[in-house]
């Protein structure tokens, strides 16, 4: 961990009280630091190590916030602006350009040799410049998942899955063939559960 972050570690609690909470999830709370970076304080050291391992491995990749270090149950990483894909789609809709950006993100998971080639809608952020970033990567190198299962569930809920798959079919026929049956099966399964 770099020297400049020592002050946050030494006077951790008092400093954090003055920081804005950016959000909280099942694993921790994320605060905005005065220098514009963020600190994620995890509820367990294990989940912190797991997430840090992934972010450190992909450090410098344009789709992920840079990490600067971790200590115990917390890590410092870059702030990601914009709004999550789910809220973005609800507000501004979904088009071909955005569909292709999501495809490129999933192709990046292949390049990074993730064993889990999946992501939740709420963990993709659309930044003000239109680029995408993943905020909360989990189990990318431990879980086996060869198609975007969570993502397709989210897209189905938003009513954009069929359109997304049309774009995939036209632009990436190979990917389409890899995903199509698995996605169809999975969507059928979850819709039967809902009945």
Ligand X SMILES: Nc1ncnc2c1ncn2[C@@H]1O[C@H](COP(=O)(O)OP(=O)(O)O)[C@@H](O)[C@H]1O
Radius of gyration of the chain (CA): 18
Report if residue 22 touches ligand X, rule: CB under 6 A.
Answer: yes
In 3D space, the residue among 33, 67, 65, 70 whose CA is nearest the CA of residue 49 turns out to be 70
CB-CB neighbours of 189 under 10 Å:
9
Site string for ligand X, 46-65 (x = CB under 6 A): -------------------x
Contact pick of 55, 74, 120, 136 for ligand X (by CB under 6 A): 136
Point out the residue whose Cβ comes nearest to ligand X: 25
Report if residue 69 touches ligand X, rule: CB under 6 A.
Answer: no
The minimum distance between CB 118 and ligand X, in angstroms, equals 15
70 neighbors 106 (Cβ within 8 angstroms) = no
Report if residue 82 touches ligand X, rule: CB under 6 A.
Answer: no
179 neighbors 150 (Cβ within 8 angstroms) = no
Scanning 110-118, 129-137, 151-159, 187-195 for contacts with Mg ion by CB under 5 A, the matching segment is: 129-137
Q: Which residue has the tokens 């003055």?
A: 18
The phi, psi pair for 43, rounded to 5°, reads -75, -20
Scanning 77-85, 91-99, 104-112, 183-191 for contacts with ligand X by CB under 6 A, the matching segment is: 77-85
Q: Which residue has the tokens 């200590």?
A: 71
The minimum distance between CB 86 and ligand X, in angstroms, equals 11
Contact pick of 1, 9, 12, 25 for Mg ion (by CB under 5 A): 25
65 neighbors 55 (Cβ within 8 angstroms) = yes
Q: Using CB under 6 A, list all residues that contact ligand X.
A: 22-28, 30, 38, 40, 65, 77, 79-80, 135-136
């Amino acid at each position: 961990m770099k020297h400049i972050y020592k002050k946050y570690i030494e006077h951790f609690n008092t400093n954090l009280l003055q920081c804005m909470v950016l959000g909280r999830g099942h694993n921790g709370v994320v605060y905005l630091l005065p220098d514009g970076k963020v600190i994620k304080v995890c509820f367990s050291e294990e989940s912190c190590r797991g997430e840090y391992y992934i972010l450190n491995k992909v450090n410098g990749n344009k789709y992920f916030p840079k990490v600067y270090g971790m200590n115990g149950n917390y890590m410092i990483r870059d702030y990601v602006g914009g709004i999550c894909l789910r809220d973005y789609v609800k507000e501004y809709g979904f088009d071909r350009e955005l569909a292709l950006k999501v495809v490129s993100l999933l192709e990046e998971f292949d390049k990074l040799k993730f064993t889990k080639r999946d992501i939740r809608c709420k963990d993709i952020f659309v930044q003000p410049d239109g680029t995408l970033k993943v905020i909360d990567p989990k189990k990318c190198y431990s879980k086996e998942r060869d198609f975007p299962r969570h993502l397709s569930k989210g897209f189905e809920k938003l009513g954009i899955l069929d359109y997304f798959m049309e774009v995939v079919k036209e632009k990436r026929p190979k990917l389409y063939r890899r995903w199509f049956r698995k996605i169809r099966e999975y969507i059928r399964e979850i819709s039967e559960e809902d009945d």
